Structure 1
């Protein structure tokens, strides 16, 4: 009996087509490290087109593996009467987890200063697409990295599309990440608020409004949604710091009409009038005369 052993580390010297070479390495047993290293080198050298990258990612996520397995079963069934020419050892398909892909491929690509950010963003979108095609839920940390990369690349239109059409799953960290991009794209701020609303994160929405000094809007949001009274002291405190006297007075009167607990808004009236104004009003009231018409 004869056995053939190949030095897979020299595959890139013998196989000119990079996609074919990566497919070859993916079918070798115990060569995950070599495959990942070679894939990263090919991506850094921009030796693969986006179409080829998509096919490689599809192979890793198992999309092409399912079809090839079914084809092999058909071929084996049709040729069962024929004697096999070469009996190869069975191997398991190469499995690269999302965490391994992120740490070993995607993060090094982001750190490569010579690569255009748009190119790196497109690679990440292709990987994200392959996960969806394989019906695999992307991890939250992967989605956040894709969003950050798209924003750094200035691909706000693409980012807006995947958020608007809910291509990626909603999460609070994603919402806060979108809120931080308000200066670059105002619509992303609203998308972040919408995600918080879908997650019923009312407290976080109020905090965002208060941070933007939208005191009246925050108060209306609490009032319309009948939220917990525990949020009212935060609005009152913010109103004392940023609102004019007329606004603070209106908030106090509204809470009084709603028969809210006095302890919730008591502090809002402490500084509505200065001591001199109170003294002047008292003197004016004492010396005023009533006239009958």
Structure 2
């Protein structure tokens, strides 16, 4: 279920190279000879950037601007002991920003403005703005690549211990307080530093663990909400009891709050990924990964792993991954959202979740279906799994009803999301977009109901009840049911010989009246003759009287058709159609029909009508005086 190596690149992982990870660009940077022998930046998609610098002091931090045109380097020069200066290398634009040069590059130095401050980190917030994170505050600089100048634009004073950065939101979280548990969120947006409400987290402070460390914190987007994930130690033993999720608030006046707890109860080293809205906790000691899905039950605050699995090498991975990587090795370094760096093997790769394989890991049927519904690009797997469960009757009608409620709820949510106009805010927390799985009625028909109908051994009565549960779920949310859904439902009910139930559904309008449906009922008359009356009743409710007459005549019910004409007062009906239908009956009925129209003197079939004259002549030729007298006496109409 967890596959490693879909996208991979190699890098120099020997002892002569220093390795850095650029979180803004999601790339790996290798430095050889402190930069004099070369600096190489490479990722899974963009081209490689390579250059050299002339400084010889060891590089402490290196970060690149989002467009790859500027490198910011902090060096650790023991001879000068300067922790407050950053070197800026403006890479040649002649190569379109994708530098691949071994030429020595000039640099510009920029010292922080706060006195006696130490730079503990750098983060590019845009292509032209960089943030200095100092032990005593924050400084935001504007960088002009053309003039090669750096200018301070904003600063903020705060004593901090360490920080984590979430590039997508330009969100910085800095740690303060005696034990580091006081977290201060900042949004670095629109050229300003916006402070959000600080909050304190519980990390299980004890004698064994007295301080919260940077490695214990992960920021992740889960179902459209940004959370801070905190590894929390047990105060009773040396285990890590759980992961606490704190929901971040973008309102400066509202503090972030505890939302969920993910139970671990394990000792050892952990790594955390947030992939496809799943929290995946890697445990090095057991070589296992625990998968959590908080959306399986949003009402509870405490969750256990829904899947426990070990990472496998992706069959599509390059050979250097399958041959060179050792799983769950101490050489692994994990980065958001799905990156793993093996510093020993020199491989920078990705981890992915294969939702289809959850079928073999999750035994509870409803849990499995809910899990698949929550996954991205898993609609086909969900429909296939749902169909198989129904075919094997592994789901009760109650469970099927619950699943249809999920489907309808997600459909309504996706409709609302598509019509929602996003408000333009000056500052906001940006998360990974999450879209509810949208399953249309056509998807249910083509992916579930029709395949089930085609199964020879399928219990059609059970299928009818399943489809009715779907119909009820749609009606409960006032969603218009597509005509083809009703058509398939009616056909299935006829196959299941659920005639009484069908009649009740039609009479109580659970199945809405529609002309195509009425004609479909007529086509099923061969299997159940009373369906013709249900069809006629439906057409009558729809007010399509002429079509009712057409139906009765096509079925050879000429007398009933004429009676219906009289009942509804269909004065403009062309008697030619009735005459043509009567011609297929016995001579007595033919005479009765003619005599009826003759006596009623319809507006458009009076004696001046060409139709009337033609058929009067034919009837005069057909009957003699004696026959006319007998037919008149035996007329089934009498006085209609």
Distance in 2 (alpha carbons) for counterparts of 1:164 and 1:185: 17
Q: TM-score, normalised by structure 2?
A: 0.37
> 1:232 and 2:579 equivalent?
no
Distance in 2 (alpha carbons) for counterparts of 1:112 and 1:130: 25
Give yes or no for contact 1:12–1:18 (8 Å, CA) kept in 2. no
Partner of 2:609: 262
Judging changes above 3 Å, is the alpha-carbon distance between structure 1 residues 254 and 114 closer, same or farther for their aligned structure 2 residues? closer
> 1:242 and 2:242 equivalent?
no
Partner of 1:70: none
Structure 1's consecutive aligned runs of 4 or more residues displaced over 6 angstroms after TM superposition are 63-66
SS in 2 for 1:233: helix
Distance in 2 (alpha carbons) for counterparts of 1:129 and 1:138: 10
Partner of 2:494: 151
Give yes or no for contact 1:36–1:105 (8 Å, CA) kept in 2. yes
Give yes or no for contact 1:44–1:109 (8 Å, CA) kept in 2. yes
For residues 36-56 of structure 1, the C-alpha deviation after alignment (integer angstroms, 9 at most, x for no partner) is 222222222222111111111
> 1:111 and 2:454 equivalent?
yes
Partner of 2:150: none
SS in 1 for 2:580: helix
Judging changes above 3 Å, is the alpha-carbon distance between structure 1 residues 154 and 171 closer, same or farther for their aligned structure 2 residues? same
For residues 5-48 of structure 1, the C-alpha deviation after alignment (integer angstroms, 9 at most, x for no partner) is 43322212111101101101111122222212222222222221
Match for 2:554 among 198, 208, 211?
Answer: 211
Distance in 2 (alpha carbons) for counterparts of 1:246 and 1:44: 53
Distance in 2 (alpha carbons) for counterparts of 1:276 and 1:175: 39
Q: Structure 1, unaligned stretches of length 5 or more?
A: 67-87, 282-293
Judging changes above 3 Å, is the alpha-carbon distance between structure 1 residues 37 and 252 closer, same or farther for their aligned structure 2 residues? same
Distance in 2 (alpha carbons) for counterparts of 1:33 and 1:182: 36
Judging changes above 3 Å, is the alpha-carbon distance between structure 1 residues 61 and 246 closer, same or farther for their aligned structure 2 residues? closer
Give yes or no for contact 2:374–2:437 (8 Å, CA) kept in 1. yes
SS in 2 for 1:29: coil
Judging changes above 3 Å, is the alpha-carbon distance between structure 1 residues 224 and 8 closer, same or farther for their aligned structure 2 residues? closer
Partner of 2:406: 59
Distance in 1 (alpha carbons) for counterparts of 2:597 and 2:447: 58
More strand per residue? 2
Partner of 2:438: 95
The CA RMSD over aligned residues, in Å, is 3.0
Give yes or no for contact 1:249–1:269 (8 Å, CA) kept in 2. no
Partner of 1:47: 394
Aligned-pair CA distance for 1:210: 1.3
Aligned-pair CA distance for 1:234: 0.6
Partner of 2:377: 30
Distance in 1 (alpha carbons) for counterparts of 2:446 and 2:583: 47
Judging changes above 3 Å, is the alpha-carbon distance between structure 1 residues 249 and 112 closer, same or farther for their aligned structure 2 residues? closer
Give yes or no for contact 1:121–1:149 (8 Å, CA) kept in 2. yes
Give yes or no for contact 2:411–2:438 (8 Å, CA) kept in 1. no
> 1:251 and 2:597 equivalent?
no
Q: TM-score, normalised by structure 1?
A: 0.78
Deviates further, 94-103 or 198-207? 198-207
Q: Structure 2, unaligned stretches of length 5 or more?
A: 1-334, 339-351, 414-430, 629-640
Partner of 1:74: none
Distance in 2 (alpha carbons) for counterparts of 1:254 and 1:203: 17
For residues 245-291 of structure 1, the C-alpha deviation after alignment (integer angstroms, 9 at most, x for no partner) is 4751563364255261332322333343558947xx9xxxxxxxxxx
Which structure has the bigger radius of gyration? 2
Higher relative contact order (CA 8 A, sep 6+): 1
Aligned-pair CA distance for 1:90: 5.1
SS in 2 for 1:39: helix
For residues 90-117 of structure 1, the C-alpha deviation after alignment (integer angstroms, 9 at most, x for no partner) is 5222110111111111111111112121
